[in-house]
Amino acid sequence: MNIYYKNRSVWHPRAGRFLITLLALVLCAACNLQPDHRDTTHSPDDPVHLSGQAQGTYYSVIYYDSLQRDLQPQIDSLLDAFDLSASLWVDSSLLRRINANLTDTLDDILLTLLTNSLLIEDYTGGAFNCRVGRIVQAWGFSFKQRSEPDGAELAAMLQAAHAPVAVDGRRLTRQNPATELDFNAIAQGYASDLVGLFLESRGIHNYLVDIGGEVVARGAKADGSPWRVGIERPAENRYSEPVVQTTIAVGDQSVVTSGSYRKYYERNGTKYSHTIDPATGRPVTHSLLSATVVEHPCWLADAMATAYMVMGLERGKAFIAAHPDGPGTHAVLFLYDSCGTLASYATPAFEQLIIK
């Protein structure tokens, strides 16, 4: 979870090769919408604040618009359309139908999520894997009851998670029909990107979009100061109140935190995280509590934060050292050290963002 404030940003050239063009998609989503509604009760310099529910979580959008337009209906429509495509909690979503082998034709959203996921799987050496759908369900972190797979079931699900998928045009083919896709590690970040791009399409270039803690910052606040985003201190448990550990200034970038401290279940004193290690098919058990990544676009920050949660501290540090110019170098990882004390590892690039 991230708690904001935030700042002005610039396109990250190194991330450009990962960006699938989304603008056309957002413009299409906006085509069918009602004309913009204007609020005449505020000064043109006041920020517009919107908030609501989407994807089973909250969202909050702040933007500067001299026309003081209320774009909530359009944003709600965009997020509803997103859920109908990519949500695993909506029974009739296209992704649920694809996973059930009822159709094999992807829409723009799923095509982008799949393409980006496969790129990140390759980049992270398999730590990120969107084909773990069945495994996530079996461990009880999706829309199905936990079944705690035995060895043979796990082996079959691992086989499905590593079987290749291919896309020809929009048509998906699976070598193993049991392979189920799960984009939860990247979807909220991508939805945040789409909301940002929708605002851009309306001529709004100074905004902060937050969908369940996946934050996109663009431009600056009215006084020119950067947006500020608070990074949450990993909580004791899922019921703890959020506490800001570090505050960073961000430019045209996104901030995403993945953590095991709120999304887990406990059995016989062991906490099972919702992050699955694709190598074993089991929830990760290392001591990493959270990983925060600052990147652009937001889906990339989201994907890399999840990948670090799979890698853990030592593998994560080795990965960052081996990819000094790649996505994921602005990161902070929190963990309990061997004495049970909260410790963190921040990359030098991340440290430069911290507001002291």
Residues engaged in binding ligand AMP (CB under 6 A) = 128-130, 132, 136, 141, 182, 184-185, 258, 274-276, 278, 302, 305-306, 309-310
* Nearer Cβ to Mg ion (185/333): 185
| Contact pick of 172, 185, 195, 216 for Mg ion (by CB under 5 A) | 185
Q: At what angle do helices 23-31 and 108-123 cross, to 10 degrees?
A: 160
CA angle 47, 353, 231 (to 5 degrees): 70
- Taking the complex as a whole, how short is the minimal distance between the CB of residue 193 and ligand AMP, in angstroms? 14
* Nearer Cβ to Mg ion (8/286): 286
Token pair belonging to 167: 């896309």
Site residues for Mg ion, 241-260, by CB under 5 A, read 258
309 binds, among ligand AMP, Mg ion, none (CB under 5 to 8 A by kind): ligand AMP
278 binds, among ligand AMP, Mg ion, none (CB under 5 to 8 A by kind): ligand AMP
DSSP 21: P
Separation of alpha carbons 197 and 299, rounded Å? 13
Sequence length of the chain is: 356
Q: At what angle do helices 23-31 and 187-201 cross, to 10 degrees?
A: 70
- Taking the complex as a whole, how short is the minimal distance between the CB of residue 206 and ligand AMP, in angstroms? 26
Give how far Cα 176 sits from Cα of 69, 125, 135, 160, 276, Å. 48, 21, 14, 6, 20
- Taking the complex as a whole, how short is the minimal distance between the CB of residue 276 and ligand AMP, in angstroms? 4
Q: How many CB atoms lie within 10 A of CB 222?
A: 10
The verdict on 302 binding Mg ion (CB under 5 A) reads yes
H or E segment at 210?
A: strand 207-211
* Nearer Cβ to Mg ion (48/291): 291
The verdict on 306 binding Mg ion (CB under 5 A) reads yes
* Nearer Cβ to ligand AMP (264/345): 264
Residue nearest to Mg ion (CB): 306
Q: Find out whether 101 and 254 touch, Cβ atoms under 8 Å.
A: no
Q: Interface with Mg ion by CB under 5 A: which residues?
A: 185, 258, 302, 305-306
